[in-house]
Chain A
Amino acid sequence: MSMLHLVNKSPFDGVSLNTASSIMKGDDTLLLIEDGVYGAMRNTKSSALVEGRNVSVLGPDLAARGITEDKLVDGVTVIDYAGFVDLVEANDKVQSWL
């Protein structure tokens, strides 16, 4: 049973990313959207939460915020809205850490 974990809040302004990354299991996926995309950035005080994890980030939300792909933690996958739908379909459950 795989789960897709959604985080839409900045990791610097709440604990949603902390909670999601610590509770997710091996075959789960973490998807960062809206202000959550800041959690995918490298060299920040929260980068360690996503390093080596199965993490995707929504490209349109990155672009809106001026965050280019070279600023992301290695291994993070950038997806579009169709990719978002694919992830929802590929997992048994979706959990939004609002």
Chain B
Amino acid sequence: MSDAKKFMYINRRAPYGTIYAWESLEVVLIGAAFEQDVSLAFMDDGVFQLTRGQDTGAIGMKNFSPTYMALGDYEVNKIYVEKESLEERGLSLDDLQHLVWEDEDEDWAEKDSIRLVSRAELADVLSGQDVLFNF
């Protein structure tokens, strides 16, 4: 793992209106299979990707939101959500899916994957990454 790079996927688009959100999710899952150190950031309209209760039945598109629940199983468990973006959109963490992962070092204890961060904190997270992918 010593030569693993820190990959950050930055998600700034709402789901369904464009293909960015879904494409990002696909690339994240592919990247996770290569055992890199993966983080996700959701900011601007990207925070809408994580809303709970999405139901696409009436618009004839695939509802890919349940897939975010699977990220923990791929050891993608550093999911940064920007606080300012949520607030500007009248949202709070309660409006988002509860994403968790199981820590094998602590007898598979279930832990939260989402980390609520300010824009300043997110800036620090970004500067610590090796590679940034934008969607």
Contact = CB atoms under 8 A, between A and B. Distances in A.
A64 interface: yes
Interface string B14-40: 111110000000000000000000000
Contacts, number: 71
A44 interface: yes
Interface in A47-64: 47, 59-61, 63-64
B51 A65 contact: yes
A10 B54 contact: no
B101 interface: no
Given A12-B45, A38-B48, A59-B58, 6 more contacts: A13-B45, A38-B45, A41-B90, A45-B88, A64-B59, A65-B15
Contact of B55 (A8, A42, A66): A66
A68 interface: yes
Nearest to A43: B90
Contact of B14 (A13, A44, A80): A13
A9 B44 contact: no
Contacts of A60: 58-59
* 7 closest A-B pairs by CB: A35-B17, A60-B58, A66-B51, A43-B90, A66-B54, A64-B56, A66-B53
B63 interface: yes
Interface residues of B, number: 25
B90 A42 contact: yes
Contacts of A80: 58
B16 A35 contact: yes
Contacts of B18: 35
Contacts of B51: 65-67
Given A35-B14, A35-B17, A66 B65 contact: yes
B52 interface: yes
Given A12-B45, A34-B17, A35-B16, A63 B55 contact: yes
17 contacts: A9-B17, A12-B89, A13-B45, A35-B14, A35-B18, A35-B45, A38-B89, A47-B90, A60-B59, A61-B16, A63-B58, A64-B59, A65-B16, A65-B48, A66-B53, A67-B51, A68-B53
Contacts of B45: 10, 12-13, 35, 38
